[in-house]
Structure 1
């Protein structure tokens, strides 16, 4: 696979940090269930449609889309990590879904079949492009004229305790890691609605829509389990890795995160508030 996004290919495909998303697949899928629901509700996938799932990860979004389009439709699941695709393919087989194909691809440059797809979707799979304008244009070429893309990205840091609380706890314990451009490829790269819609316009897309939507992220196992997850993936995990933090550091950060997350616990369990940016656009006719 040719890739111009080598840093992301290395991170998701070969690094220990990327591999942790395989280990904690079930927890992460449950945590992000409301985000996937948001994408699918707005994409309005129908029976018989042909769909591209960008950054499919371990396959939760692809499986859901495949069920919606039915046996007469199909899903092309693309990801930059072969390990993720292998897991996604195994899950499709376990669920008896034969209408999904898997493609190891950097969606920014991969030569998808042109003019073939009715829709493109992504749950947190589009914030890592080295050149987002080129990526949007490339994805659009795979769509039929008028085909729609729908994707979810994280909103600003202040609206997302899932990122902010672990970040603050880790920095308090270990120090501030080197700052990066807030628009650089990464989880929060699409936090600014105007910035992203501007790139979509540059890519020649039409009917561009963007909105910040408040959702709740359900934390399976409660604040203790989710706090532990935060020391393994996300900003706290990255800070721990950068400073080569000890097990004692991780435990202290986990304890503080757990205390902070407790405020989001009710009789129905842990629900972490989040702001999700939902973007939609169509390929011009």
Structure 2
């Protein structure tokens, strides 16, 4: 694990995670993660409402698929992707260079406290990158300050756990693994904004106006077949954490059970397809004028 000391980073637990095994796993499997999540890309970018000259901030950009897509839309503008993970940002820079995108840059930063230039962006976007802040109101207030008056925020975050096929698959392993409450809503983590009222309260508290939470859903591809998808899921952070607590024999039984669960989701020629339900959350930085 890489050890970073940076006074501009306050989400230190997340920094350690995304510069350690979890970040490495995402880099090694970035194409797979994009296949899981890319069904939300167009919805997200459409909601952000920027044009060819847009100035766009991508929060928690990871390996940069949404950042690069935004750069293509804002062909005469510029796009900045920020993330805590140095390995993922290295992958993002390499991909942007390979694709010949010269209007996109990446920076390792904690969006909760980073000193963005005030009013520097027309839009801020995030695909599953904003659920991990220790103080979400402070984080979104900081992001809001980086937007021009009238600038838009749009992000996608998971909705209720029961509507996400990958989580139902993992919860099916309760007889084999200590599943616990890794999907507990409300705290920093994947399901921090499961309750749309909380998302609206956080953004309103951070100074955003016209806040909306709209339900959206998309299918993602998790593997070539059930066994491939099961191996992938059990290699994720939650999967590794659970299998590390049991014997090799119990872990093997869990793998077999997960494979059988996923067989019902195999589609010939398409692999394992699972539905994800999410919230598309949008807000506007108010155009405050003196009276």
Cα RMSD of the aligned pairs, angstroms, is 1.8
Deviations 1:66-107 (A, max 9, x none): 11111x211111001111111111111111111111111100
Q: Indicate conservation of the 8 Å contact 1:182/1:188, yes or no.
A: yes
Q: Which has the higher helix share?
A: 1
Identify the match of residue 140 of structure 1 among 138, 144, 150. 144
**1:268 Cα deviation (Å)?**
5.3
Q: Indicate conservation of the 8 Å contact 2:56/2:79, yes or no.
A: yes
The aligned length equals: 280
**Which 10-residue stretch deviates more, 212-221 or 183-192?**
212-221
**1:237 Cα deviation (Å)?**
2.9
**1:280 Cα deviation (Å)?**
0.3
Structure 2 CA distance for partners of 1:165 and 1:82, relative to 1, 3 Å: same
What is the 5 A alignment of 1:100-111? 100-111=104-115
**1:167 Cα deviation (Å)?**
3.3
Q: Indicate conservation of the 8 Å contact 2:96/2:104, yes or no.
A: yes
Residue in 1 that maps onto 2:42: 37
Residue in 2 that maps onto 1:190: 193
What is the 5 A alignment of 1:51-130? 51-70=56-75, 72-130=76-134
Output the CA distance in 2 between the equivalents of 1:136 and 1:183. Answer: 16
SS of the residue corresponding to residue 200 of structure 1 reads helix
**1:182 Cα deviation (Å)?**
2.8
Structure 2 CA distance for partners of 1:178 and 1:273, relative to 1, 3 Å: closer
Residue in 1 that maps onto 2:51: 46
**Structure 1: segments with no counterpart, 5+ residues:** none
Q: Indicate conservation of the 8 Å contact 2:68/2:96, yes or no.
A: yes
Identify the match of residue 239 of structure 1 among 237, 242, 245. 242
Identify the match of residue 7 of structure 1 among 13, 16, 19. 13
**Structure 2: segments with no counterpart, 5+ residues:** 1-5
**1:225 Cα deviation (Å)?**
1.6
Alignment of 1:27 with 2:32, yes or no, is yes
Output the CA distance in 1 between the equivalents of 2:62 and 2:170. Answer: 23
What is the 5 A alignment of 1:149-228? 149-169=153-173, 171-177=174-180, 182-228=185-231
Structure 2 CA distance for partners of 1:20 and 1:110, relative to 1, 3 Å: same
